Amino acid sequence: MSLATPEDVENYKKLFPNGLSDDEDMLELVGLSVDDFNFKVAERLLNEHGDVIYLNLCEKCLSLARTPLAKQCRHCGYDWH
C-alpha cells in the first residue's frame, strides 16, 4: 500500500481545517503506510493484551494458523493432529 498523496493531504485539510486531533501518537500513525499502521496496531494489541490473545502458530514454520483451533499449517502444510 502507498502513503497518502499530496492531493489526499490537501483534501484532508479542506475537510478538517482544525485537524482531527492534537495527539502526537495519533498524528504519527496517520502518516504511515497501511502495512506499517497494521503492524503498529498489532504490536500495541500484543503489548497491552498479550495475556489474553492466543496466536496458534505452526510448530514447524512458526506462521500463523488460519484459526485458533487449526491443526494444519496453510503455509507449509505441516500437520499437528
pLDDT in tens, 9-67: 777 777 776 666 667 777 677 777 778 888 888 999 999 999 999 999 999 999 999 99
Q: Which residue has the higher pLDDT, 74 or 4?
A: 74
Q: Is residue 73 part of a domain?
A: yes
Domain range for 71 is: 51-81
Q: Which pLDDT band, with edges at 50, 70 and 90, does 2 fall under? A: low
Domains of the chain: total? 2
- 81 lies in the same domain as 61: yes
- 68 lies in the same domain as 43: no
Q: How far apart are CA 30 and CA 37, in angstroms?
A: 8
Gap between the terminal Cα atoms of the chain = 37
- 42 lies in the same domain as 14: yes
Q: Is residue 1 part of a domain?
A: no
Decide: pTM greater than 0.85: no
Please give the grid coordinates belonging to residue 40. Answer: 503498529
The answer on pLDDT for 5 being more than 70 is: yes
Contact 68, 56 (CB under 8 A): yes
- 31 lies in the same domain as 57: no
Q: Is residue 31 part of a domain?
A: yes
Q: Which residue has the higher pLDDT, 23 or 6?
A: 6
- 43 lies in the same domain as 59: no
